[in-house]
Amino acid sequence: LNKFEYDLYHEEDNVVEKVIRVKRFSMPNKGDKWKIYEDNKVIFIIEGSKLTSKQKEFLYTIDGVNFLLQQFKVGIKSFNALKIEIKKILENKKD
Protein backbone atom coordinates (compact mmCIF):
# COMPACT_ATOMS: atom_id res chain seq x y z
CA LEU A 1 0.00 0.00 0.00
CA ASN A 2 1.06 3.53 -0.71
CA LYS A 3 1.66 5.58 2.42
CA PHE A 4 -0.27 8.48 0.87
CA GLU A 5 -3.43 6.48 0.21
CA TYR A 6 -5.19 7.74 3.32
CA ASP A 7 -3.80 11.27 3.01
CA LEU A 8 -5.45 11.91 -0.34
CA TYR A 9 -8.97 10.69 0.33
CA HIS A 10 -10.93 10.78 3.56
CA GLU A 11 -14.17 8.85 3.32
CA GLU A 12 -15.70 10.70 6.26
CA ASP A 13 -15.24 14.00 4.37
CA ASN A 14 -17.09 12.70 1.31
CA VAL A 15 -19.37 15.63 0.43
CA VAL A 16 -21.45 15.73 -2.73
CA GLU A 17 -21.69 19.24 -4.14
CA LYS A 18 -24.72 20.56 -6.00
CA VAL A 19 -24.54 20.77 -9.78
CA ILE A 20 -26.08 23.97 -11.14
CA ARG A 21 -26.78 24.30 -14.88
CA VAL A 22 -28.35 26.90 -17.13
CA LYS A 23 -29.90 25.70 -20.37
CA ARG A 24 -31.54 27.72 -23.13
CA PHE A 25 -34.32 26.22 -25.22
CA SER A 26 -35.55 27.50 -28.55
CA MET A 27 -39.33 27.39 -28.70
CA PRO A 28 -41.27 26.63 -31.90
CA ASN A 29 -42.72 30.17 -32.03
CA LYS A 30 -39.20 31.68 -32.31
CA GLY A 31 -39.16 32.33 -28.59
CA ASP A 32 -36.61 31.34 -25.99
CA LYS A 33 -36.75 29.83 -22.55
CA TRP A 34 -33.98 29.50 -19.98
CA LYS A 35 -34.12 26.86 -17.29
CA ILE A 36 -31.91 26.73 -14.22
CA TYR A 37 -31.33 23.22 -12.91
CA GLU A 38 -30.01 22.03 -9.58
CA ASP A 39 -29.06 18.33 -9.70
CA ASN A 40 -31.40 17.61 -12.65
CA LYS A 41 -34.32 19.39 -10.95
CA VAL A 42 -35.73 22.54 -12.57
CA ILE A 43 -35.50 25.36 -10.03
CA PHE A 44 -36.31 28.45 -12.10
CA ILE A 45 -37.72 29.13 -15.58
CA ILE A 46 -37.22 32.37 -17.50
CA GLU A 47 -39.65 33.04 -20.33
CA GLY A 48 -37.97 34.89 -23.19
CA SER A 49 -41.28 36.39 -24.30
CA LYS A 50 -41.35 38.42 -21.08
CA LEU A 51 -37.92 39.98 -21.74
CA THR A 52 -36.87 42.79 -24.04
CA SER A 53 -34.61 42.04 -26.99
CA LYS A 54 -31.60 43.64 -25.24
CA GLN A 55 -32.20 41.53 -22.14
CA LYS A 56 -32.39 38.37 -24.26
CA GLU A 57 -29.20 39.33 -26.12
CA PHE A 58 -27.46 39.72 -22.77
CA LEU A 59 -28.58 36.27 -21.62
CA TYR A 60 -27.22 34.74 -24.86
CA THR A 61 -23.68 35.76 -23.82
CA ILE A 62 -21.31 34.06 -21.40
CA ASP A 63 -21.70 37.06 -19.07
CA GLY A 64 -25.45 36.48 -19.11
CA VAL A 65 -25.12 32.82 -18.17
CA ASN A 66 -22.64 33.70 -15.41
CA PHE A 67 -25.11 36.34 -14.21
CA LEU A 68 -27.88 33.73 -13.99
CA LEU A 69 -25.61 31.39 -12.02
CA GLN A 70 -24.71 34.19 -9.61
CA GLN A 71 -28.35 35.13 -9.15
CA PHE A 72 -29.20 31.52 -8.41
CA LYS A 73 -26.44 31.30 -5.80
CA VAL A 74 -27.67 34.53 -4.18
CA GLY A 75 -31.23 33.23 -4.30
CA ILE A 76 -33.57 34.37 -7.05
CA LYS A 77 -36.76 35.54 -5.37
CA SER A 78 -38.93 36.35 -8.37
CA PHE A 79 -38.87 36.92 -12.11
CA ASN A 80 -39.48 40.65 -11.56
CA ALA A 81 -36.43 40.91 -9.28
CA LEU A 82 -34.34 39.16 -11.93
CA LYS A 83 -35.50 41.60 -14.62
CA ILE A 84 -34.56 44.54 -12.39
CA GLU A 85 -31.06 43.12 -11.88
CA ILE A 86 -30.61 42.57 -15.64
CA LYS A 87 -31.75 46.15 -16.25
CA LYS A 88 -29.15 47.45 -13.76
CA ILE A 89 -26.36 45.54 -15.50
CA LEU A 90 -27.40 46.77 -18.93
CA GLU A 91 -27.50 50.36 -17.69
CA ASN A 92 -24.01 50.00 -16.22
CA LYS A 93 -22.68 48.62 -19.53
CA LYS A 94 -23.87 51.77 -21.32
CA ASP A 95 -21.75 53.98 -19.06
pLDDT band, very low/low/confident/very high, at 58 (cuts 50, 70, 90): very high
CA distance 95 to 91: 7
pLDDT at 1 over 60: no
Residue length of the chain? 95
User: Strand, coil or helix: what is 31?
Assistant: coil
Give the pTM. 0.74
pLDDT at 40 over 70: yes
